[in-house]
Amino acid sequence: MKTIRILASLLLGTMVFQSHAQQQLSLSDAIKFALQNKKEAKKAKLDLENSQYQIDEVRGSALPQITANGSLKYNVLIPEMVLEAGGQTQKIKMGQPWNSNAVVSLNQQLFNQSIFTGLKAAKTTKEFYQINAQLTDEQLIEKVANAYYDIYQEHLKLQTIENNLQSTTKTKEVTEGLVKAGLAKKIDLDRLVVNVNNLEAQKQQTSSAVQIKENALKFAIGKSIEEDIELSNETFEINPVLAMESDNIENRTEVQLMKKQIELYELNKKSKVADLYPKLSLGADFGFNGFGKGFPIGGDFSWPKTSSIGLNLSVPIFTGGTTKARINQADIQIRQAQVDLEDTKLGLSLAKENAKSQIKISLLTIDNNRRNVKLAKGVLDDTKNNFNNGLATLTELLDAERALADAENNLNTSLLNYKVAEVQIIKSNGELKSLIKE
């Protein structure tokens, strides 16, 4: 028995320690964790890193290209040439049984418009991925913020149910005493028991909903589903000034990304035009062309040197219209992207106006719901007092409790709607990272 008590004490101590060791997760902490661990953020960083390698690849093609080649061949049958001299026909062998060569070649591009354009495109690609990484971070922050506030609203709903359950349970306990004293009807007690059971069921359902939404948040930030999280005590701060924010669409990350994409399309068009330009390169080589009757090493073998240097010029004259067709296709791609850009700007303006309207509506709704909660609490207090004094029915009391719960849930919903719209306003101003606190 003593051993069991010791084990129970140790287990309880471990549970208490784990409870205290568990850190609270603020919105800022959740965003930081997501930016470090979520797949989207990691892949965006890898794309950015890869863009530097693309620049290195194009830059390398503009530098001297040096290659070394070698070969060794044994002629089983030496080719023969037939010559006729002085009325006689003679066969002359052309070559030796063993042939070998070793050459080092150098090629340097002197003028190649495609390489120059490609280098600009590679640098622009890096800028594109930098903006894309920023957009990925913003989308991740938005997703995490919405998931976080959704859980917080569910917690407020759960708190409302617990408060209502606590109040109804007290009323039930009082009624039990009145029934025993013959001062209340058993049917009233039964109705209270049913109401308590219903509230218990709602509590379980809401607790399950909290767990599901917490799991969704864990997935959104890249945290293990098995790990427990506890939200910190956040407050729904209201900032009416947000509804007066002016439009600033041009600085939106989405717009900047599409503009950079258009730059890439323009460079792609220039690369097609570059096919119309001549190409000039310098070539040089130095090596040995060996031949002999024996094996190159230790045999009858000679190694005469060979070397050359020259210019290579390629001038396109007629391509059958294929180059022009490629240029026109690239131009169509640019114009399509410009159409998409204008449509995106329109959509962003619409989203911001909707968010501003939602904030204005939410501010009015929040103010009205707060006054309604205060009024419902007063009605419930008066109804409880009247019920205890036999001046109000149980139905009136239950209606008052339900009215308060509805008012509090409506307030919580309006607060969540405000925070969701607030995130959209902050996003439209390009300031989503302001949600991260140092």
265 in the same domain as 253: yes
In a domain, 207, yes or no: yes
Return per-residue pLDDT of the chain as tens, 438 residues. Answer: 443 343 334 333 433 334 444 568 888 888 899 999 888 889 999 998 998 898 888 888 888 999 999 999 888 888 888 887 777 888 787 778 888 899 999 999 999 888 889 888 989 999 999 999 999 999 999 999 999 988 988 888 998 999 889 988 988 888 888 888 887 788 888 888 998 999 999 999 999 999 999 999 999 999 888 888 888 876 667 777 766 666 678 888 999 999 999 999 999 999 899 989 999 999 999 998 888 887 877 667 788 899 999 999 999 998 888 989 999 999 999 999 999 999 999 998 898 888 888 888 888 999 999 999 999 999 999 998 888 787 888 888 888 988 998 999 999 889 888 888 888 888 887 888 888 886
152, part of any domain: yes
Same domain, 208 and 266: yes
Query: Are 265 and 386 within one domain?
Result: yes
Tell me: do 369 and 253 sit in the same domain: yes
Pair (307, 347) in one structural domain: no
Please list, in sequence order, all residues whose beta carbon lies within 8 angstroms of the beta carbon of residue 378, skipping any fewer than 6 positions away.
Answer: none
With respect to residue 418, please indicate whether it lies within any of the assigned structural domains. yes
pLDDT in tens, 281-305: 999 999 988 888 878 776 677 888 9
Helix (H) or strand (E) run with residue 90 in it = strand 88-93
Q: What angle do CA 218, 219, 222 make, to 5 degrees?
A: 85
Domain annotation covers residue 121: yes
Q: How many CB atoms lie within 10 A of CB 312?
A: 12
- Does the residue 10 lie in any domain? no
Q: Does the residue 301 lie in any domain?
A: yes
SS3 content of the chain, % helix, strand, coil (to 5): 70, 15, 15
Q: State which residues form the domain around 90.
A: 65-111+278-315
Same domain flag for 53 and 70: no
Cα–Cα nearest to 125, from 59, 52, 60: 52
- Residue 213 shares a structural domain with residue 89: no
pLDDT tens digit string along 243-261?
A: 666 667 888 899 999 999 9
Same domain, 373 and 239: yes
The verdict on 372 and 410 lying in the same domain is yes
Query: DSSP state, 71?
Result: E
| Whether residue 99 is found in the same domain as residue 120 | no
pTM above 0.85, yes or no: no
CA 331 – CA 322 distance, rounded (Å):
14
Pick from 268, 294, 315: which residue ends a domain? Answer: 315
Cα separations in angstroms, 226 against 11, 268, 360: 20, 48, 40
Tokens of 423: 């995130």
Q: Domain check: are 399 and 304 in the same one?
A: no
Q: What is the CATH number of the domain that holds 85?
A: 2.20.200
Number of domains in the chain: 2
State which of 292, 315, 338 marks the end of a domain.
315
CATH of the domain at 55: 1.20.1600.10
Residue 179 located in a structural domain:
yes
Helix (H/G/I), strand (E/B), else coil: 88: strand
Residues 175, 285: one domain? no
8 falls within a domain: no
